[in-house]
Chain A
Amino acid sequence: MLASPWTFLALSAGLAAGILIGALPGLTATMAVVVLAPFTFFMEAAIGIPFLLGIYKGAIYGGSIPAILVNTPGTAAAAATARDGYALTLQGSSRKALELSLFSSVVADLLSTMVLIVVAIPLASIAIRFGSPEFALLYLIALTMIATVSGDNVAKGLTAAGLGLLVACIGLDPMSGYQRFTFGSTDLLGGVSLIPLLIGMFALSEILMQLTHPPERRDGTGEVVHGGERLRWAEFWALRLTILRSTSLGTFIGSLPGLGAEIACWIAYGLARGRSREPERFGKGSFEGLAAAESGNNAVVPAALIPMTVFGIPGDTITAVLIGALMAQGMMPGPLLIQQNPGFLFGLFLVLLVTNVLLLVFGLFAIRWLKQVTRIPPAVLYPCVLLLCLCGAYAVNSSTFDLLILAFGGGLGYLMRRTGFPIAPLIIGLLLGPGFESALRQSLVFSNGSLAIFWSRPGSLVLLSLLALVIVVMAWQGLKSKGAASRLPRSRRMKSHNAKGGDS
């Protein structure tokens, strides 16, 4: 794959675009991937998918630049980075903070990619033996996890997942080919177009959210002098345990469906603070805090590809878009991808490793030159995003009906975000719907309608126990966090209104 100069160029372009978009406050990594995904439909998979991976990795890293320089996280995943990163900038050490953020990100990304490579193939060799009951349970586990962890309210998460499954029923029945809920419209025969709906739900709703809650202007940002000393090797080496711990945590969180970089950064930050000898320095310019947050969120990126490549289940909203892009290229992620396209998959792993080297190069360049980008006013930025949304949504199928889906998605996404409904379960329900339906119905047809098929096979029994465990753990966590949330100050609870819905 990398033998082609076009792949290398696409990867570099994706990485540069990702860092640039990630560095723009208000533009999320999901938005970057979803808005630029239509460009890949006109490229070969070996060029288009590396382009999207580059955007994904670049945007997650890029979010840390404005977080450190102007105390405004470019993406929700960089929220924890802002605490110590901006404190270091105020102390005149912005260059040190930016370099530490970059090096921590690259190390975490590299280690997490190694885990992906080591784990994916053995797991896929197990997954290939799965039958319909196992897949039905696997989809159910993923949907349950995503629905319960994506928002503050489990009922709202489950409702969003249910609505996603219901929307997935529109179009042709995956087993009989029967038309359902098309109301005579030929535009709905293939179901609701995924990419225009995604663009609407993530990008248009983000524009509307930015209008509803304009970003706060931070005090004193104009007086900060950027620059300072470079990071010394000894300073970085002293953080190796923090980076390793946060990377392990980020990799674990990323490999679970539904948990993304925006959660990993806070958990890694909290863990580092708990283990630190100087916890009082956290929030006041701690190197440990910055390294933990950045390695925690960047380790999620390769790890989120584990459920995608092994089971065809998206780890987060961005991998949901990647699955959509792969499907548009005629590929079905999951164990069959490894069997049918091993060259493509190994090429993808190689691309992920190469991206780390490129991230280092592009990151060093971005540290020097991207300060100006953070100053682009929303009045210029968001109209351009709207333009890209309109053109991108139309380009998918050259269909004006898709523009209506885009507008519908924008309205629905905005309504859901304003009222605290997470978007991620709806999108993932929509994506997993046809597979879940086929697996469930096939299982029940094989067993003549008996539910015993879900516990009579060893594999399905293990997965059923896992599902029960997930439900118990999530219920316990929900009860615990409810207590913790009620103890939080109101300002803190209301803070992340613009990044709700599992959006990185």
Chain B
Amino acid sequence: MTDTVLPLSRSVTRVLETLMGLGTLSVGVVFLRIVHASPPPYGDPGDIGSAAFFPGLIALLVSALGVVLVLMAWRPHLPRSIATGQTSRALLAYALMVAVAAGLPWLGIWLAVMLAVPLLAVLFGERRWGVLLILAVVPPVLVIHLFEGVMGIYFPRGVLL
């Protein structure tokens, strides 16, 4: 499992930094648009007493910082600060996490975690069936019983059980 960490090329770093700046800018602009909508949903953003004052101020700050980030991404000597890595495996794992988080109410805790735990182990390179089977059964049984039996937290059972 050796891994040599190398920085991304300057052009790719520039594109990613620009995208992050634009993302920040768009978050700020979305909040600004909500606050300054007509009629203003939370009161006049210029009024100190209104609920819109602080979010308006911070959204303006975030938008300005987004612009700064975009400008900084285009400076001539941009440091190559983003490292390469096995992003595809991480994205697969993230898709698994989102699927489990979103699907847990329907799948139920048992099915969701008994699938998620060995699948994540596979992404980490585990290929032995015995280990995967143990991972699918032992940690979920221990942890779920700890939460349900000791702490009194009951998890969704899903539509199957």
Cα distance A420–B17 in the bound complex, in angstroms = 10
A380 & B121 in contact (Cβ 8 Å cutoff): yes
A169 partner residues in chain B, CB cutoff 8 A: 31, 54-55, 58
Question: Are B117 and A387 in contact, CB atoms less than 8 angstroms apart?
Answer: yes
Docked CA distance A388–B113 (Å): 10
B111 within 8 A of A: no
Min Cβ gap B37→A in Å is 12
- A485-504: CB near B (< 8 Å → 1, else 0) gives 00000100011010000000
Nearest-neighbor residue (CB-CB) of A406 within chain B:
B101
Q: At the interface, yes or no: A88 with Cβ under 8 Å from chain B?
A: no
Report how far A212 CA is from B88 CA in the complex, Å: 8
Q: Does A163 contact B (CB under 8 A)?
A: yes
Instruction: Report the minimal beta-carbon distance from B80 to chain A, rounded to whole angstroms.
Output: 8
Q: How far is the CB of A115 from chain B (nearest CB, A)?
A: 35
Chain A residues near B34: list those with CB within 8 A: 181
Decide yes or no whether B68 CB sits under 8 A from chain A. yes
Binds B, one of A172-180, A259-267, A463-471: A172-180
User: How far apart sit A395 and B144, CA to CA, in the bound complex (Å)?
Assistant: 11
Judged by a CB distance under 8 angstroms, whether A358 is at the interface is no
Chain B residues, CB < 8 A from A155: 65, 68-69, 72
Instruction: Name which residue of chain A comes closest to B55, CB basis.
Output: A169
A178/B43 in contact, CB under 8 A: yes
Contacts of A449 in B (CB 8 A): 48
Among residues of B, the one whose C-beta sits closest to the C-beta of A204 is B97
Please state if B123 and A211 are interface contacts (CB–CB under 8 Å).
yes
A156 CB to closest chain B CB (Å) equals 7
Interface string of B83-108 (1 = CB under 8 A from A): 10111011001100110111011000
CB contact between B152 and one of A42, A384, A407 (< 8 Å): that residue: A42
Chain B interface extent, by class: 35 or more
Q: Counting CB contacts under 8 A, is A99 at the interface?
A: no
Chain B residue at minimal CB-CB distance from A212: B85
Select which of A178, A407, A445 is within 8 A of B48 by beta carbon: A445
With contacts A211-B123, A440-B54 taken as known, whether A216 is within 8 angstroms of B93 at the C-beta atoms is no
Interface string of B114-125 (1 = CB under 8 A from A): 001110110111
In the bound complex, what is the Cα–Cα distance between A213 and B84 (angstroms)? 8
> How far, in Å, is B98 (CB) from chain A's closest CB?
5
Which one of A411, A419, A449 has the greatest number of beta carbons of chain B within 10 Å? Answer: A419
Given contacts A181-B34, A208-B90, A212-B89, contact A166 B7 (CB under 8 A): no
Would you call B90 and A211 a contact (CB within 8 A)? yes
A-contact 0/1 string along B12-51, CB 8 Å cutoff: 0000110010001001100100100000001100001111
Partner of B121, one of A153, A204, A379, A418: A379
Question: A175 near B51 (CB under 8 angstroms)?
Answer: yes
Measured CB to CB, the nearest residue on chain B to A405 is B101
Q: Does the CB pair B126–A176 fall under 8 Å?
A: no
B residues 105-161 touching A (CB-CB < 8 Å)? 105, 109, 112-113, 116-118, 120-121, 123-126, 131, 135, 139-140, 143-144, 147, 151-156
Instruction: Say yes or no: is A349 at the interface (Cβ < 8 Å to chain B).
Output: no
Question: Which listed segment binds B: A119-127, A320-328, A396-404?
Answer: A396-404
Q: Are the CB atoms of B121 and A407 closer together than 8 Å?
A: no
Chain B residues in 8 Å Cβ range of A383: 116-118, 120-121, 124, 135, 139
Q: Identify B7's interface contact among A159, A382, A395, A490, CB under 8 A.
A: A490
- Say whether A414 faces chain B, with CB atoms less than 8 Å apart: yes
Residues in B with CB closer than 8 Å to A153 are 72, 81
For residue B156, which residues in chain A have a CB less than 8 angstroms away from its CB? 400
A380 and B131 contact, Cβ closer than 8 Å, known pairs A407-B102, A494-B5, A494-B7: yes
Given A165-B58, A445-B49: A173 in contact with B42 (beta carbons within 8 A): yes
Contacts of A495 in B (CB 8 A): 5
Q: In the docked arrangement, what's the CA distance between A445 and B43, Å?
A: 16
Q: What residues of chain A lie closer than 8 Å to B59, measured between beta carbons? A: 166
CB distance A391 to B144 under 8 Å? yes
Complex: A390 Cα to B139 Cα, angstroms: 13
B147 touches A391 (CB 8 A): yes
Q: Which residue of B lies closest to A443 (CB)?
A: B48
Roughly how many angstroms separate A378 CA and B125 CA in the complex, as a whole number?
A: 9
- Bound state CA distance, A469 and B43, in angstroms? 36
Other 12 A-B pairs with CB < 8 A, given A213-B83, A216-B3: A162-B28, A175-B51, A176-B49, A181-B55, A384-B117, A387-B116, A387-B139, A390-B100, A391-B143, A441-B54, A449-B48, A494-B7
Chain A residues packing against B (C-beta within 8 Å): 39, 42, 152-153, 155-156, 158-159, 162-163, 165-166, 169, 173, 175-176, 178, 180-181, 204, 207-217, 377-380, 382-384, 386-388, 390-391, 394-395, 398, 400, 403-404, 406-407, 410-411, 414, 418-421, 437, 440-441, 444-445, 449, 490, 494-495, 497
5 pairs across A/B with beta carbons < 8 Å?
A214-B1, A378-B124, A383-B139, A398-B153, A418-B82
